[in-house]
Amino acid sequence: MNEVVFHRGRAVMYGSLGVGDFGDAWPSDLLAYRREWEPFVAAHVALWRYLNSLFESTPTGQKCPPGVDQSALNVFDPNTKAFCSSLMLTRLRGGDNSQTKPPSISAMWDAWRDKSASDILIGADKMLKQQQDVVRTVAGQYKDELLEIAKFWKLEIKLPDVPTIDTQGQIIAKIEGTYVAAKGILQLAGYATGTTLAWTATQTAALTEGLTDTVKALPKAISSPWLWVGVTAVVVAIGAGMVVYYVPKPVRT
C-alpha cells in the first residue's frame, strides 16, 4: 500500500521500495540521500555482524556472558576480558537493538522508519541531519573501533567506497532546491588520508582538498589504542591473517 501526500503542489509517494536491508521507504525526494548512503552504512553493519559471527563461534566467545554490559567481564582474566570486550562491541554496533545506549547502527539508521510521509516532509531538516550524523558516526568513531578490533585480532578489513562526490553534489542540490529548511545541512564526503572521511561544503573544495570516492591504502597504525592493546593471547582463537571483505549489493532504484 502506497500513501500519496502533497507537498508544495507536488504528489509525493511513500511506500515500500525494498531498499537495501533496512526496510521501509521514504518520500521520493528525501529518499535520495538515504538511498545513496545505504550501501555504505549497510557495508559497515555487515562488517560488524561478520566479526560478531566470527567471535561468537570461537570457544572463547562462548565463555562470554550475553548482552553488552562490560561490567559483567570483571570476573574474567585479562585475555578473556579483552576478547569478550571486542565481542560485546560487535553485538552493540551490529545488532538491531534500539534500546541500548547508544542504539545499534541499524536502529539509528532506521530512526525515521515508522514516521508518516507527512512527518518526514515536515521534519526534512531534522531527518537529513540525523541521517548525516549516523553516516558521520559510522565513518568516524565506529570505523576506528572496527579497524582497531581488526588490527588487534590480526584481521584485515576492506572498507566500502562512498557515493561519488558528483552524485552527492547532485542529490544535495536537488534536495536543497526543493526543501528550503534543508539548505546548508548536508555536506559532501570523501576519503582523505588513509581511512579518514573528510566533509566539505562544495565540490570545488572537495577537489581542492583531494578527496576521493574510494578508500586509500589502510594505515599501518590506528590512533587512540584501546586499554587492552597489550593483550596478545587468544589471537589464535580466530586465526591470524584472515581477510574480511564486504561488497555492497546493488540498490534497486
Between 91 and 180, the more confident residue is: 91
Model confidence at 244: pLDDT above 60: no
**Does residue 20 sit within a domain?**
yes
| DSSP H or E segment with residue 35 | helix 28-56
**Least confident span in 2-16, 28-42, 44-58, 190-204:** 2-16
**Does residue 249 sit within a domain?**
no
- Contact (Cβ atoms closer than 8 angstroms) between residue 160 and residue 37: no
Extract the C-alpha cell encoding 149: 578490533
| Burial per residue of 52-68, b for 16 or more beta-carbon CB atoms within 10 angstroms, e otherwise | bebbeebebbeebeeeb
Angstrom distance (rounded) from CA 186 to CA 179: 12
Model confidence at 25: pLDDT above 60: no
Can you list the alpha helix ranges (DSSP code H) found in 95-160? 105-109, 117-122, 124-139, 141-152
**Does residue 193 sit within a domain?**
yes
- Contact (Cβ atoms closer than 8 angstroms) between residue 189 and residue 139: yes
pLDDT for res 13: 40
Angstrom distance (rounded) from CA 24 to CA 99: 20
Number of domains observed in the structure of the chain: 1
Split at pLDDT 50, 70, 90, the class of 218 is low
pLDDT for res 47: 92
**Does residue 22 sit within a domain?**
yes
**Does residue 204 sit within a domain?**
yes
Model confidence at 138: pLDDT above 80: yes
Split at pLDDT 50, 70, 90, the class of 230 is very low
- Contact (Cβ atoms closer than 8 angstroms) between residue 251 and residue 20: yes
**Does residue 222 sit within a domain?**
yes
Extract the C-alpha cell encoding 251: 540498490
Split at pLDDT 50, 70, 90, the class of 135 is very high
Average pLDDT, the chain: 76
**Least confident span in 150-164, 203-217, 226-240:** 226-240
Between 2 and 148, the more confident residue is: 148
Model confidence at 236: pLDDT above 60: no
Model confidence at 11: pLDDT above 90: no
Model confidence at 252: pLDDT above 50: no
**Does residue 74 sit within a domain?**
yes
**Does residue 252 sit within a domain?**
no
CA distances to 9, 84, 174 from 139, in Å: 37, 24, 24
Split at pLDDT 50, 70, 90, the class of 178 is confident
Digit-coded pLDDT (tens) for 145-176: 998 888 887 777 888 999 999 999 999 998 88
Q: Which residue segment(s) compose the domain that 175 sits in?
A: 3-244
Between 151 and 133, the more confident residue is: 133
Amino acid at 243: V
Q: What is the pTM of this model?
A: 0.76
